[in-house]
């Protein structure tokens, strides 16, 4: 393990050291900006006041405003997709390997923009700007808690759309996203086909099946079973950090493949003494996972994680009764890049969606990403698809 544990803090869920082969040096400096709406009405019909999200951009918007590539981020991520805020930053944005001058998402050609999601999982990170259950309800002067309305992937897309419209943009050269970001990318293509010319789904799916919904619910139950969660009303008391720690550990365990974990985790001696002394003592592999998660927990908000889980559980592209109905309106050229050994959003999910689009005579490409990371190949092995991404963005 050759990186500081803080490398993984900014990238995924926990502080876990990673021997990254991706480009970690920025070709640009970036500034976090904010966008606000006086009101926003959710897909479910509930109006939220004073909605604010953060955003970042790389490259230059051309005069026609038609060179925009939107990056939609993953569950535990945010809009910091590339570059650094300052020379002191230990790590560039998570997709710095493919975003920048001369790279796959060439910022000499494209204006690349990314937006913090509503109910971002980590509202306590200093560079995350989001509105969610931890935000102050202007009607009460107190945090929303569970009074905040349920939001969907469509809501994330709609807030992004409002920001783009505020910038005078009404067309996307492409929308590209990984994991939860892939759900947003295909939702963009399904909900607003006149906007989207190209869509790239990395480690994603067109809808979530029962197996995946069950797996996500385990993350939520870990939080709900923490007594400090208190039905979502903990903002004047002790935060449910044990539940958040458990949820984060489960997320990371599911997102990483045994091939990497078994190489990176400290090896366990035969019959370790501390394990024999008490069942309450943590074994080395457990210390590696949960120790990192405990350090990360205060940056998260338990309710925000629950709301993100529900948004993902509800997802069907196009938000129609069936996936087939949701995909019908897509006119964009599409590219699916699942990870071949993904144990979280398994590649069959992307393949099924790609096949349904092919049956509708849509323009579809499908390739798998290889590597030791499992789900996280979509972040740390993405550079192997540099040529494919460049070609896909450049051709009609």
Query: How many other CB atoms are there within 10 angstroms of residue 395's CB atom?
Result: 8
Burial 25-42, CB ≥16 within 10 A → b, else e: ebbbebebeebebeebeb
Contact 248, 14 (CB under 8 A): yes
- Across 42-157, where does the E strand assignment appear? 47-58, 68-72, 99-100, 105-106, 111-115, 136-137, 142-143
Q: Reduce the secondary structure of 329-379 to three states and give it as a string.
A: CCCCEEEEECECCCCCCCHHHHHHHHHHHHHCCCCEEECCECCCCECCHHH
Residues taking part in catalysis: 179, 342, 375
Contact 203, 179 (CB under 8 A): yes
Apex 196 CA angle, 94 and 59, nearest 5: 45
Instruction: Say how far apart CA 297 and CA 292 lie, in whole Å.
Output: 9
DSSP lists the bridge partners of residue 56 as 114
| Beta strand 364-366 pairing with 333-337 | parallel
DSSP lists the bridge partners of residue 178 as 202
The alpha carbon of residue 45 and the mean position of all alpha carbons in its chain are separated, in whole angstroms, by 25
Instruction: Say how far apart CA 67 and CA 51 lie, in whole Å.
Output: 27
């Amino acid at each position: 393990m050759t990186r500081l544990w803080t490398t993984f803090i900014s990238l995924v869920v926990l502080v876990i050291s990673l021997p990254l082969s991706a480009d970690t040096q920025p070709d640009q400096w970036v500034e976090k900006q904010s966008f606000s709406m006086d009101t926003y009405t959710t897909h479910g019909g509930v109006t939220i006041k004073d909605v604010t999200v953060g955003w970042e951009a790389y490259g230059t918007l051309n005069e026609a405003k038609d060179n925009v590539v939107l990056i939609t981020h993953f569950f535990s991520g945010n809009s910091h997709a590339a570059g650094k805020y300052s020379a002191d930053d230990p790590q560039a944005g998570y997709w710095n390997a493919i975003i920048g001058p001369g790279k796959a998402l060439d910022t000499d050609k494209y204006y690349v923009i990314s937006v913090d999601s509503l109910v971002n999982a980590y509202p306590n990170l200093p560079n995350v700007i989001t509105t969610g259950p931890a935000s102050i309800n202007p009607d009460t002067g107190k945090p929303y808690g569970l009074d905040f309305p349920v939001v969907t992937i469509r809501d994330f897309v709609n807030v992004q759309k409002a920001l783009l419209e505020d910038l005078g943009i009404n067309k996307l050269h492409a929308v590209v996203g990984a994991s939860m970001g892939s759900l947003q990318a295909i939702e963009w293509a399904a909900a607003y086909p006149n906007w989207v010319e190209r869509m790239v789904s990395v480690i994603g799916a067109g809808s979530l099946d029962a197996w995946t919904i069950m797996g996500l619910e385990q993350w939520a139950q870990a939080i709900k079973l923490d007594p400090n969660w208190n039905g979502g009303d903990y903002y004047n008391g002790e935060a449910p950090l044990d539940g958040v720690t458990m949820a984060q550990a489960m997320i990371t365990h599911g997102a990483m493949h045994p091939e990497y974990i078994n190489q990176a985790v400290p090896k366990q001696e035969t019959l370790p003494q501390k394990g024999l002394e008490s069942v309450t003592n943590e074994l080395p592999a457990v210390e590696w996972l949960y120790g990192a998660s405990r350090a990360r927990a205060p940056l998260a908000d338990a309710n925000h994680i629950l709301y993100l889980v529900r948004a993902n559980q509800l997802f069907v592209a196009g938000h129609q009764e069936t996936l087939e109905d949701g995909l019908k309106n897509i006119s964009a050229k599409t590219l699916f890049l699942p990870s071949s050994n993904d144990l979280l959003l398994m590649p069959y999910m992307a393949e099924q969606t790609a096949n349904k689009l092919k049956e509708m005579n849509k323009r579809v490409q499908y390739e798998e990403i290889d590597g030791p990371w499992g789900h996280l190949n979509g972040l740390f092995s993405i550079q192997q698809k540099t040529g494919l991404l460049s070609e896909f963005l450049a051709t009609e």
